[in-house]
A and B are shown apart, each in its own frame.
Chain A
Amino acid sequence: MATTIAEAQNIFQQCYQCGVCSGSCPKSKVLPGFLPRRMLFQMINGFEEAQLDSGLGWECLTCGKCQVHCPQGIDIVGLVRDMRAQMKSRGVDGIVAHDSILAPMYSIMSKPEIKPKKKMYLTDDVKTDPNSKTLFFIGCAPHLDAPFRDDVGFKGIDVTNDAIKTLNLVGIVPAVLDDEKCCAHDYLWRGERDVFEAFGQQNAEALQTFDTIITACPECYRTLAVEYKDLLGIELNVKHLSEVLAEHTDKIKKGDRGNATYHDSCRLSRFMNIYDEPREALKAAGYNLQEMTDSREDALCCGVPTWVSCNDENKRIREQKLDDALATGAKRLIVPCPKCEIHLKCLQADRSEEGKYPIEIVNFATVMKESLEED
């Protein structure tokens, strides 16, 4: 998937300029002048300096909605990723939200001698087995609990525990790595491939000892399954929680759970083609799933991938997303990605006084744990 700019210029000689990308891009609708078609044109036709120096590449959501319908199959977000590396080296940086907390946190974690001690987040009722050949990759959800629990109501520690409990309830007792390092998805997509590689090398040895790795986070899933292979040459057998559950729908307890709608997080859906498995699991649990007008491969982005460009325009996209969810009449908006959950809850908290978005935003792992537990 990865496309360097030199490759891109060669490949993009193929861009017809048909405009399907611009027509699909949610950002182009809220930020006049931001057009994927123009970005490609500039990058192909000798205007790459003007394009890079404009910094507009930081406005891209990298949600991939532009490229699912591209008749040439051009990897537009792959180009953006490489443009970001170039922009950084030219001193054109993007604005990363919450970076005063996140940057030191990840900077400390990137040091090989630092052990994240992830097991301390697990509650007593969670079963793990150090000898299991199946690993549950925890990811950063528990780390993000502290900065976002009080602020927006994101309970990252609970999400992690719920995901492992869900596995326990279908008969899987996975191993967890106390020293697990970040998958560094965000760094990679912000053009910092060196940081991604440094993290990856620290995880590589331990991860390769497992037969199967299960993740609850779509970003970890994509990164371990695809980027580890493409960029680090490490091939892992990675599964998303929803894929595991789709194999165990007989164990899910069906109840009258009312209307709900499901958000296709980009890294799970467009990037990894997982659309049906979470829906099957939710239907097995008895949810009456209502699709949003923009769903599946055309699903609208949560608005702030990789914490970049959390601005007024992206807020508009999040508003559209929640409006779309509300219009389905669902009581619950079920979200597989912890980051999507944070971004959407952030908007909801922001507007709580107005009571503008009366819908329960809840993580897929939590929902599934509920529907597997005994009453």
Chain B
Amino acid sequence: MEEGLENFVPLIKRSRGYEELKKDVIDSGICSGCGACAAFCDRVGLTEDGSVPASDCNMTTGAVKCNIDGICYDCCPHVSYSVGGLEDEVFGARRDDEILGQYLKAFAVRSKDKEVLKKAQDGGAATSLLLAAVTEGFSDAAVVTGRDDSWNVDSTTSKDKSEITSGAGTKYARAPGILRLGENLRKTPSLAIVGTGCQIAGTRKLDKKLLSSVPKADLTLIGLFCYENFPYTRLKEIVEDRLGLKMEDVVKTDITKGKLFVWTKDGEKHSKPVKEFADLAPESCEICRDFTATFSDITCGSIGSDEGWTTVIVRSQRGLDLLEAAKKKGLIEVSDKVDLEDVKRTGGFKGKKRAKVLGERETEGKFVPDYS
């Protein structure tokens, strides 16, 4: 407490500022472009391909320096923080399994909507749950990530069924749906958001640090399994240079069983082992510990269920309610035929890679986050 301000309420201190964020995360190569630092502060912007912050926050260069007043460092999912502590806050319980995270139940889910199934990677669960979140009163609107013909991704806030449905299908290009979250919440205080592990973790940190002071603000978080994701320029390199295809011709992408599958307009299915473009995998994804988006309300993923079905891990009561509501509404069918060992196996590969990369970083004296 500053001197002479005894009657004042002490504010929750922030630990570090943008300068340290830049040093620890951005310049050391582990920024995944999740958008959390730019969710509440428009001084931080992302590059066009959604990779890393585009321009340095000008509050580090001018006469007035933001220093530790902002939230950008503390909401970043790649800096050190207590995973267990955040779990206590979010779920009131801690995980038994590192890869699966805290969860209540797991299912296999398939959409009953033909339009959704056509575009979806697997069973269309994420889109169906997003739709249910809006139509069944969980959220006022959904943050929908769409793409144009060249696979440039962009996020919009929508209440419209067809617009939400249009966002179906995996996009292997980073889409920071939580960019400008603060402004979106100002227009719509209750939002449903789909995101990868880093996006969900960043959003959950913001949720717990900031949104608790605004009673109206409310988030439903739908996670996605994510092994790795590419900035747009790298996706383009894979599709155009390595597969010899045109971005405009691609209609659907999928990574499963160690292979990238790309469907083109002419109905052809192209594939290539993921190993062949391992050189393009971002370091931010290699050091990620959150394959199954462990801070979501409910997470959807490909691995662990039969073809045409989505594996769904329910983490919170809200996630369970949402699944039930979607089922009751007839949006999805639900089965118990799910193999979590398969999920753990894939997560295990990711863990090994992570351990290796972190070891290298440690020898090189680079920032290594501590999640204990």
On A, residues with C-beta under 8 Å from B are 13-20, 22-26, 28-29, 32-33, 35, 37-38, 41-42, 45, 47, 50-51, 54, 65, 69, 71-73, 293-294, 298, 300, 320-321, 323-324
Q: Tell me, yes or no, whether B9 is within 8 Å of chain A by CB.
A: yes
Q: How far is the CA of A35 from the CA of B67 in the complex (A)?
A: 13
**Interchain residue pairs A-B with the least CB separation, the first 4:** A71-B182, A23-B66, A23-B69, A33-B2
Which one of B42, B62, B71, B180 contacts A293 once the chains associate, using CB atoms below 8 Å? B62
B69 proximity list for chain A (CB < 8 A) = 19-20, 22-23, 28, 35, 37
Q: Tell me, yes or no, whether B239 is within 8 Å of chain A by CB.
A: no
| Closest Cβ neighbor of B12 among chain A residues | A17
Q: How far is the CA of A192 from the CA of B11 in the complex (A)?
A: 31
Asked if B66 and A24 make an inter-chain contact with CB atoms under 8 angstroms apart, the answer reads yes
A54 proximity list for chain B (CB < 8 A) = 5, 7-8
Tell me how many residues of B have a C-beta within 8 Å of chain A. Answer: 40
Which one of A16, A51, A69 contacts B43 once the chains associate, using CB atoms below 8 Å? A69
Q: How far is the CA of A13 from the CA of B186 in the complex (A)?
A: 11
Q: How far is the CA of A320 from the CA of B215 in the complex (A)?
A: 39
Q: How far is the CA of A33 from the CA of B9 in the complex (A)?
A: 11
Asked if A71 and B11 make an inter-chain contact with CB atoms under 8 angstroms apart, the answer reads no
Q: How far is the CA of A320 from the CA of B63 in the complex (A)?
A: 6
Q: How far is the CA of A304 from the CA of B213 in the complex (A)?
A: 33
A29 proximity list for chain B (CB < 8 A) = 64-65, 67
Closest Cβ of chain B to A73, distance in Å, is 7
Closest Cβ of chain A to B98, distance in Å, is 31
Which one of B41, B63, B216 contacts A20 once the chains associate, using CB atoms below 8 Å? B41
Asked if A41 and B9 make an inter-chain contact with CB atoms under 8 angstroms apart, the answer reads yes
A45 proximity list for chain B (CB < 8 A) = 9
Asked if A293 and B213 make an inter-chain contact with CB atoms under 8 angstroms apart, the answer reads no
Asked if A293 and B59 make an inter-chain contact with CB atoms under 8 angstroms apart, the answer reads no
Q: How far is the CA of A72 from the CA of B181 in the complex (A)?
A: 10
Q: Tell me, yes or no, whether B214 is within 8 Å of chain A by CB.
A: yes
Closest Cβ of chain A to B40, distance in Å, is 4
| Closest Cβ neighbor of A39 among chain B residues | B8
29 chain-A/chain-B pairs, Cβ below 8 angstroms? A13-B214, A16-B211, A17-B11, A17-B12, A17-B210, A18-B70, A19-B14, A19-B70, A20-B41, A20-B70, A23-B59, A24-B59, A26-B64, A29-B64, A33-B4, A33-B5, A33-B8, A37-B11, A42-B8, A50-B7, A50-B8, A51-B8, A54-B7, A69-B42, A71-B40, A71-B180, A294-B58, A321-B63, A324-B63
Asked if A38 and B214 make an inter-chain contact with CB atoms under 8 angstroms apart, the answer reads no
- Of the listed residues B4, B7, B183, the one surrounded by the most CB atoms of chain A closer than 10 A to its CB is B7
B59 proximity list for chain A (CB < 8 A) = 23-24
Q: Given A19-B69, A69-B41, A71-B183, 19 more contacts at CB 8 Å?
A: A14-B216, A16-B213, A19-B70, A20-B40, A20-B43, A20-B69, A23-B59, A23-B66, A24-B64, A29-B65, A38-B11, A41-B11, A54-B5, A54-B7, A65-B64, A69-B42, A71-B40, A71-B41, A324-B62
B2 proximity list for chain A (CB < 8 A) = 32-33
| Closest Cβ neighbor of B183 among chain A residues | A71
Q: How far is the CA of A13 from the CA of B213 in the complex (A)?
A: 8
Known: A71-B180, A293-B62, A300-B63. A14 touches B8 (CB 8 A): no
Which one of B9, B67, B71, B210 contacts A47 once the chains associate, using CB atoms below 8 Å? B9
Asked if A23 and B11 make an inter-chain contact with CB atoms under 8 angstroms apart, the answer reads no
Known: A19-B14, A71-B41, A71-B182. A13 touches B62 (CB 8 A): no
A323 proximity list for chain B (CB < 8 A) = 63
B67 proximity list for chain A (CB < 8 A) = 23, 29
B180 proximity list for chain A (CB < 8 A) = 71
Q: Tell me, yes or no, whether B61 is within 8 Å of chain A by CB.
A: yes
Q: Which B1-44 residues have C-beta < 8 A from chain A?
A: 2-5, 7-9, 11-12, 14, 17, 40-43
Q: How far is the CA of A330 from the CA of B363 in the complex (A)?
A: 48
Q: How far is the CA of A17 from the CA of B217 in the complex (A)?
A: 13
| Closest Cβ neighbor of A74 among chain B residues | B186
Q: How far is the CA of A50 from the CA of B182 in the complex (A)?
A: 29
Asked if B214 and A71 make an inter-chain contact with CB atoms under 8 angstroms apart, the answer reads no
| Closest Cβ neighbor of A300 among chain B residues | B63
| Closest Cβ neighbor of A45 among chain B residues | B9
B65 proximity list for chain A (CB < 8 A) = 29
